[in-house]
Amino acid sequence: MTRVIGIVSGKGGVGKTTLVSNLSYVLTELGKDVTAVDTNLTTPHLGLHLGFHMVPKSLHDFLRGDAKLHEVVYYHPYGFKVIPAGLSVNDLIGINSDKLQDLTVNLLGKTDFILLDSAPSLGREATLSLKLSDEILLLTNPNIPAVLDILKVAKVAESLNKNVLGVVVNRINRKGNELSTSEIEDTVKYPVIAEIPEDINVQKALAARTAIVDYNPKSVAAVEMRRLGHYLVGREFTYGQGFWEKLFGWFR
């Protein structure tokens, strides 16, 4: 059965595309067939994160009726599939975003995971990603505006009867200026299922058009991404036996 997971947030720039990109690697490593879709149609970045920014046909061409679905599915060397959106402002002309539903329906049964990289907030575009998802990952940074904004998104997800899996807190720096995990859980009323630290390697990985799990697999951020991937498939995470892993575990 295909699981359609929406990676959503209230605020922009919290790390949704980063998470989709990393989970694509991690779930593939775990033996799953993964299709990552850029449903952020106005400011798409998934292609940039994964090296599919110069493609002949994009999701926008499909939504305009100028391309068949198979023409906009790209195969990443790592083994997962990516449906990137077009980067040009002209790509927005003449598209019918309701056709996104045809896309997810067409992929059902053909892949294990459809990861939807969403637009932020609760506009039409972001709400469409919520509607297309069965399960939701709420992504936030540990600050009050970002957390208040996912609270709203969580409410809308509930009203649409979606299965909210929990909260992923990204860019934690532990310098004492942040909301704690329990404060976030008390506010949002969903469990925090992953805590990903601020890590400059995440940005270095982006510059190299890859994900931190690939670029720097031993970094704490990469380990947390893998932990989350294991959680999503209900598999035990056994990392933590070696010296470096123990040291990193201590820092957590």
Residues that bind ligand ADP (CB under 6 A): 9, 12-18, 45, 170-171, 196, 198-199, 202-203, 206, 221
Compute the least distance from the CB of residue 89 to Mg ion, in Å: 17
Q: In terms of Cα–Cα distance, which of 165, 157, 132 is closest to 38?
A: 132
Phi, psi of 40 (to 5 degrees): -90, 85
Compute the least distance from the CB of residue 116 to Mg ion, in Å: 11
Dihedral angle, C-alpha 99, 97, 22, 2, nearest 10 °: -30
Compute the least distance from the CB of residue 215 to ligand ADP, in Å: 11
Confirm if 220 and 199 have CB atoms less than 8 A apart.
Answer: yes
Compute the least distance from the CB of residue 46 to Mg ion, in Å: 7
Question: What distance, in Å, lies between the first and last C-alpha atoms of the chain?
Answer: 35
Q: Which two tokens stand for residue 74?
A: 């790209």
Q: In terms of Cα–Cα distance, which of 136, 139, 107 is closest to 120?
A: 139
Q: Which does 199 bind (CB under 5 to 8 A by kind): ligand ADP, Mg ion, none?
A: ligand ADP
Q: In terms of Cα–Cα distance, which of 206, 233, 201 is closest to 217?
A: 201
Compute the least distance from the CB of residue 66 to Mg ion, in Å: 24
Taking CB under 5 A as the rule, does residue 45 contact Mg ion? Answer: yes
CB nearer to Mg ion: pick between 10 and 248: 10
CB nearer to ligand ADP: pick between 31 and 249: 249
Q: Which two tokens stand for residue 199?
A: 């890590």
Q: Which of the ranges 45-53, 87-95, 162-170, 191-199 carries the binding residues for Mg ion, by CB under 5 A? A: 45-53
Q: Which of residues 5-34 bind Mg ion (CB under 5 A)?
A: 16-17
Residues that bind Mg ion (CB under 5 A): 16-17, 45
